[in-house]
Structure 1
Amino acid sequence: MKYLYYPGCSLEGTSAEYDISTKVLMEAVDVQLSEIEDWTCCGATAAESQSHLLSYVLPARNLALAEKMNSSNQILVPCSACYLNLKKVEEAIKNDKDLLRKINSVLAQEDLVLKGDVIVRHLLDVLSNDIDIETIKETSQNKLSGLTVAPYYGCQCLRPFTIFDDPEDPHSMDELIRATGAQSFEWDMGAQCCGASNTSTKPEAGMVLVGRILKSAKGADAILTVCPMCQMNLESSQKKISHKEGIDLEIPVLFLPQFLGLAMGKTQNDVRLDLNLSNPGRLIKARV
C-alpha cells in the first residue's frame, strides 16, 4: 500500500516521536509513505482568527502539492489538527465551487491548482481499516499481555467529520490494542476534550479538563493517543495536577504507533520513547 504523507509542524518539533514511530510502524506493516514535497503549515488554530480564506488556502496548498505528485490519491495524516484542516478543505470544495475558485486564485501565484482529487485520511483510520490486523497479532505474539491501556481519541480526529468512528462512543483503537495482547481500558473519557490550547491561554481551566481525564484513567497502565496537542497536555501537567489534587496521577502517555511498534518488537530507541515527557515505567518492564 502507498500513501502520500503529511507530517505537519508538530511532528517536526515537539512531537518528533510521533513522526518517527509512525514511519517505523508503517514500514513494519509494509506501507510506503511519500512525503508531500515542499509542504507547509496547515494553518493550525491561528489562521482562522486572521483570515477565513487563509484558513482554507494554507491547507489547500498542501492538497494541491499532493495532487501534483500524482503518486497516490490518499494522504495519510497523523496529527489530528492537521487532519481536520486538510479534511475541511477536501469536504468544503465538493459543494462550494466559489470557494474553490477563490482558493485557486491565490494558489495561482505559485502555479498551483487544486482540483479535489485527493482523499485525506487520519492515521487511525488507516490503521483500523486498511492494515491487516493479523499482521500486528502475528508479530506481537502477545508481548504486551497483562497490560491495560486507555485509548484516548480527543476531539479533532472524530469531529466534525464522522468518517471512521463514532465521536460519542469511539472504538477504533480497541482491536489494535487487543492485537498486541493488551486489554483496552473501559472508560467514557476517550472522546472528551483535553482543553486544547486552553492549557496555555487559560491554564486553570485547561488543567481541570486534563485532571478529569487523568483521574478517569486510574487503573490503566498507560494512555494512548493520536494527537500531538492531546499528548502534550496529558503529559506535561501530570506532576502539577497530582500535587494540586493530592493524588498520584502520573501515567505513561504514548502515541499509538509507539505502542504498536513496541509490541511488534521495535526498541525504545526505534520509537523514541526518550522524547516522551512521561515515564514509560511499567509498560517497558512488561515487555522485557
Structure 2
Amino acid sequence: MSVPSASSLTPYALRQQIRSGAHQGNTSGQAAGFVQCNLAILPADYANEFLRFCQANPKPCPLIGMAAEPGDYIISDAGEDVDIRTDIPAYQLFEQGQPTTQVNNLLEVWRDDLVTFMLGCSFSFEEALLADGLEIRNITERVNVPMYRTSMPCTPAGRFSGNMVVSMRPMPAAAAIRAIQICSRFPSVHGAPVHLGDPALIGIEDINKPDFGDPVSIRDGELPVFWACGVTPQLAIAKAKPPFCITHSPGCMLITDIPNSKLSVL
C-alpha cells in the first residue's frame, strides 16, 4: 500500500504526523493550498511590544493571528486541534535573546505566561508561483529555502529592532517580473519581493553561503529574487533579549487549515 506524500496530505493529517514524530524537517511544498506560519512565542510582558513591531514591519512580520490569552496553546483559529506545543517539526529555544536548544516539542518547557504569534510565511505564496508555471528552485532541489541577513533596517518598536532577513529564489528576468505580479496579491504572506539582482546592495556578501537554510543553484541568466522572511523576528528577539522565548526552526512551519486563497487581495 502506498503512503501519501506530505504535499497531498490534509493540514490536519500532516500535523498529526508531525506531532507523532513521523514527519520531520522543513515544510516547503507540503499541504498544498494552505497557509503556513512562522512562530514567535514570548513572555506576556514582551507581547505588546512585539505586536507593535509586527504592525510596524508587515513585510517581514505579517501577523496572521495570535493566542487570545497568555498560556493558550490550543489555537482554534489556526485549525482543527492545533497544539502549538507539538505541531511544528522543530522549535528553537532562546534565553536572553540567544539561541540555546532545538527541540521537537514544547511539552517540557511550556509556561502559563507565554503568548503565541503566528506570522505569514513565504511557503504559502510558493503554491501560486508554481500554479503559474514558475519554478521554485528549493522545491526542485528538495532543500530548505536559502535565507540571508541583510543591511535593511526594520522599524523599531520598544525593545524590538534589527535588520530584515530575506529568502531567495533564483529566476529568469521574465519569471521574476511575473513573481512580483503574483506575490503582490498576498500581502499577508510577505507580498512582493523586496529586492532582485545584486545581493551586495542589501548587504549579502556571498549568495552561495546563506545564513539559514540551504544554498541552491543559480543558473546563467537568472536573477536572485529576495522576499522578506519570517526569520526576521529571531534577530529582533536577539536584540530585545527576553529571558526566554521560542520560535520555529528555520523552514519548519506551522501548517494551518486556512486556505491560501483567503489571503489573496484580488
TM over 0.5: no
TM-score, structure 2 normalization: 0.27
Q: Higher Cα Rg: structure 1 or 2?
A: 1
TM-score, structure 1 normalization: 0.25
Q: Which has the higher strand share?
A: 2
- Structure with more relative contact order (C-alpha pairs < 8 Å, separation 6 or more): 2
